[in-house]
A and B are shown apart, each in its own frame.
Chain A
């Protein structure tokens, strides 16, 4: 096994370099095919997204694959690779496996735990396979990388906790109301942010939406877009207590909802909670409303603060995820190594058995006619000696799998017993 990976990503290279090195999806199959037809390369895959370009290959033993990959990239982009040299990273052997597992699990992403990379890796895998680039250990490794990513998703909370302001609002709403089914949203003042938040809330199950705006026409436009109801701005307070979630983003220079007004509202709602999302600057909702029982007020800075906390939460989850990845890398290495050992064991057994049968043949005439039970006894005797001799080397071959010195041991046994490579 001779694995190599050459790549750039959002950390090592600026966007100009990444787009220069990018290989568009339409040309990916041809590129993979070109790569694996180069002498010395057995398998190849290319992962090209807006944040990374990586060329991964499995080469023949004793072939230095790194220059081949560099030449491939230079040829493909019709350029000298020299000026870009410093942006590239290179991984070999076990590091390739570890890197692929981390990338698939979104541990190497710009936003930790973002889900797109898994789909992108899956696509790169399929394209490479269709282009004939994968048919051996690399295929198995990438396939396993996808499985590891799914395990990380299942066993850690790496991908949870919103990292955008509008999703953070949705998550907070869920922490207050449980499900959003049957909940009513009131949007006061139309704006990009409030539209986005309302859209996310509706998609998460909120059932009704009311829109109020200083200009009634704009409210009607929005109401049509969201299949909601427009309400005249003057009648805001007649409708507001129907709303479970209030998203406010007016240009008003003063508070639209004061503490006293909110207290009255909550009283009318018999203690059912209300969630105020205040996106306006200057703020629309008196921050003192947050002091009232069953009222929760988040302004734009509060939401940003929650996003920051969520990011730190993801970083903590990443520690667990890294442990899973390392465990899986170890397992993969073992599996690959034992795969390499099996042919040696079979060859060794064949070789010794061949000797045994040859000697049996040679001595048959000298032994004379043997009764069937005598022949069986001789057979069992020779077989027994053979198994005793084989026991040591086979145990050694199997047990050392994964150790660095193990390859040398395999070579040594092959040499001693004259097992042609």
Chain B
């Protein structure tokens, strides 16, 4: 059942992305109902897939790489809808949703090997994982806004507007999207970090502080803290802030995916022992 929903969601996401293209090419003021419908149904199917697994294991399925990616893709699509409803940026979908498609594809392709561990019984760990993923969702939006900002800024500086200039929103709107998503993501990542530390102190023995994933997370957290505080204290806007957000998201990717292969504690390996 889960697989049926996943493939359905994947197909609808793909269809939705294709249906977005004409609205962007023709510079319509809003996305076509067909595109929004396909994406909405995709989101629903995706929710169904997550619910099926959640009902079976009696908790949010975020306990292995595959289902964590799937949940992340789900949240990014949700974030797209919220951002679109607020800002009506038609081109936003083309920047955000290909990642959703890719992650959903990965999640749908790999055979399910969700594993159970007593470690996941506690609520702390679920809050840790869920909150961190919510934070990463915000930061993906920050990243997308930063990329769009840099593209539009380049168009404006070059003084030779190309097709993309007419299809991207104003710098002001992109800056607002950037800042709001940053402000959304940071508290969630912070909660994720704190709950992670609390849980680790209680259950793990040994020098867990030196685990590569934990170190990478700390670096990521610091990057976003710097981005936020420099923004609030003034000065860091525009190009510099945009580069910072891109760098920050690269760190998220490394933390989220790359280090899992190296980390003993976060390796999502069935033999994980608390």
Contact of A178 among B27, B159, B173 (CB under 8 A): B173
A298 touches B234 (CB 8 A): no
Contact of A177 among B163, B165, B172, B240 (CB under 8 A): B172
CB 8 Å contact bits of A293-310 with B (1 = contact, 0 = none): 110101000100110011
Q: How near does chain A come to B83, taking the closest CB pair, in angstroms?
A: 15
- Answer whether residue A74 sits at the interface, using C-beta atoms and an 8 A cutoff: no
- Answer whether residue B26 sits at the interface, using C-beta atoms and an 8 A cutoff: yes
Q: How near does chain A come to B61, taking the closest CB pair, in angstroms?
A: 40
Q: How far is the CA of A302 from the CA of B166 in the complex (A)?
A: 17
- Answer whether residue B236 sits at the interface, using C-beta atoms and an 8 A cutoff: yes
Q: Look across to chain B and name the residue whose beta carbon is closest to the beta carbon of A178.
A: B172
Q: How far is the CA of A298 from the CA of B161 in the complex (A)?
A: 13
Number of A-B contacts (CB under 8 A): 69
Q: How near does chain B come to A279, taking the closest CB pair, in angstroms?
A: 15
Q: How far is the CA of A320 from the CA of B28 in the complex (A)?
A: 12
B237 touches A294 (CB 8 A): yes
The verdict on A271 contacting B27 (CB below 8 Å), with A176-B170, A306-B159, A309-B160 known, is no
* Chain B residues bordering chain A, tally (CB within 8 A): 26
Q: How far is the CA of A267 from the CA of B235 in the complex (A)?
A: 7
- Answer whether residue B171 sits at the interface, using C-beta atoms and an 8 A cutoff: yes
- Answer whether residue A388 sits at the interface, using C-beta atoms and an 8 A cutoff: no
A270 touches B171 (CB 8 A): no
B240 touches A305 (CB 8 A): no
A302 touches B159 (CB 8 A): yes
Q: How far is the CA of A306 from the CA of B157 in the complex (A)?
A: 12
CB 8 Å contact bits of B87-120 with A (1 = contact, 0 = none): 0000000000000000000000000000000000
Q: Name which of B26, B27, B162 has the most chain A CB atoms within 10 A of its CB.
A: B27
Q: How near does chain B come to A289, taking the closest CB pair, in angstroms?
A: 11
Q: How far is the CA of A172 from the CA of B27 in the complex (A)?
A: 17
A176 touches B157 (CB 8 A): no
- Answer whether residue A156 sits at the interface, using C-beta atoms and an 8 A cutoff: yes
Q: How near does chain A come to B80, taking the closest CB pair, in angstroms?
A: 20
Residues of A within 8 A of B269 (CB): none
B235 touches A175 (CB 8 A): no
Residues of B within 8 A of A175 (CB): 152, 156, 165, 170-171
Residues of B within 8 A of A271 (CB): 234-238
- Answer whether residue A174 sits at the interface, using C-beta atoms and an 8 A cutoff: yes
B156 touches A172 (CB 8 A): yes
Q: How near does chain A come to B172, taking the closest CB pair, in angstroms?
A: 3
Q: How near does chain A come to B22, taking the closest CB pair, in angstroms?
A: 10
- Answer whether residue B121 sits at the interface, using C-beta atoms and an 8 A cutoff: no
- Answer whether residue A155 sits at the interface, using C-beta atoms and an 8 A cutoff: yes
Q: How far is the CA of A267 from the CA of B236 in the complex (A)?
A: 10
Q: How far is the CA of A172 from the CA of B153 in the complex (A)?
A: 11
Which residues of chain B in 227-265 are interfacial with respect to chain A, using CB atoms and an 8 Å cutoff?
Answer: 234-240
Q: How near does chain B come to A316, taking the closest CB pair, in angstroms?
A: 8
Q: How far is the CA of A258 from the CA of B235 in the complex (A)?
A: 21
Contact of B170 among A178, A270, A293 (CB under 8 A): A178
Residues of B within 8 A of A293 (CB): 237-240
Residues of A within 8 A of B238 (CB): 271, 273, 293-294
Which residues of chain B in 138-172 are interfacial with respect to chain A, using CB atoms and an 8 Å cutoff?
Answer: 152, 156-157, 159-163, 165-166, 169-172
B26 touches A157 (CB 8 A): yes
- Answer whether residue A313 sits at the interface, using C-beta atoms and an 8 A cutoff: yes
A270 touches B166 (CB 8 A): no
Residues of A within 8 A of B234 (CB): 270-271
Q: How far is the CA of A298 from the CA of B160 in the complex (A)?
A: 11
Q: Look across to chain A and name the residue whose beta carbon is closest to the beta carbon of B234.
A: A270
Q: How near does chain B come to A106, taking the closest CB pair, in angstroms?
A: 17
CB 8 Å contact bits of A215-246 with B (1 = contact, 0 = none): 00000000000000000000000000000000
CB 8 Å contact bits of A306-334 with B (1 = contact, 0 = none): 10011001000100100000000000000
Q: How far is the CA of A320 from the CA of B170 in the complex (A)?
A: 25
Which residues of chain B in 57-90 are interfacial with respect to chain A, using CB atoms and an 8 Å cutoff?
Answer: none
Q: How far is the CA of A290 from the CA of B157 in the complex (A)?
A: 7
Q: How far is the CA of A161 from the CA of B160 in the complex (A)?
A: 13
Which residues of chain B in 181-206 are interfacial with respect to chain A, using CB atoms and an 8 Å cutoff?
Answer: none
Q: How far is the CA of A176 from the CA of B238 in the complex (A)?
A: 11
Which residues of chain A in 268-297 are interfacial with respect to chain B, using CB atoms and an 8 Å cutoff?
Answer: 270-273, 290, 293-294, 296
Q: How far is the CA of A157 from the CA of B24 in the complex (A)?
A: 11
Q: How far is the CA of A155 from the CA of B27 in the complex (A)?
A: 8
- Answer whether residue A160 sits at the interface, using C-beta atoms and an 8 A cutoff: yes
Q: How far is the CA of A175 from the CA of B170 in the complex (A)?
A: 4
Q: How far is the CA of A380 from the CA of B237 in the complex (A)?
A: 85
Q: How near does chain B come to A183, taking the closest CB pair, in angstroms?
A: 10
Q: How far is the CA of A356 from the CA of B87 in the complex (A)?
A: 69
Q: How far is the CA of A272 from the CA of B231 in the complex (A)?
A: 11
Q: How near does chain B come to A162, taking the closest CB pair, in angstroms?
A: 11
Q: Look across to chain A and name the residue whose beta carbon is closest to the beta carbon of B172.
A: A178
The verdict on A305 contacting B159 (CB below 8 Å), with A178-B173, A271-B236, A294-B237 known, is yes
The verdict on A306 contacting B161 (CB below 8 Å), with A161-B166, A178-B170, A271-B234 known, is yes
A320 touches B26 (CB 8 A): yes
Q: How far is the CA of A187 from the CA of B173 in the complex (A)?
A: 26
B170 touches A298 (CB 8 A): no
Contact of B27 among A157, A174, A177, A296 (CB under 8 A): A157
Which residues of chain B in 2-55 are interfacial with respect to chain A, using CB atoms and an 8 Å cutoff?
Answer: 26-28
A298 touches B171 (CB 8 A): no
Q: How near does chain A come to B70, taking the closest CB pair, in angstroms?
A: 35
B159 touches A270 (CB 8 A): no
A309 touches B161 (CB 8 A): yes
A156 touches B152 (CB 8 A): no
Residues of B within 8 A of A178 (CB): 169-173, 176
Q: How near does chain A come to B31, taking the closest CB pair, in angstroms?
A: 14
Q: How far is the CA of A179 from the CA of B173 in the complex (A)?
A: 9
Q: How near does chain A come to B133, taking the closest CB pair, in angstroms?
A: 31
Q: Name which of B161, B162, B236 has the most chain A CB atoms within 10 A of its CB.
A: B161
- A-B interface, 6 closest residue pairs, ranked by CB to CB distance from nearest: A271-B237, A178-B172, A270-B234, A157-B27, A178-B170, A294-B238
Other A-B pairs, 8, CB within 8 Å; known A156-B26, A270-B234, A273-B238: A155-B28, A172-B156, A177-B171, A177-B172, A267-B235, A271-B235, A271-B238, A272-B237
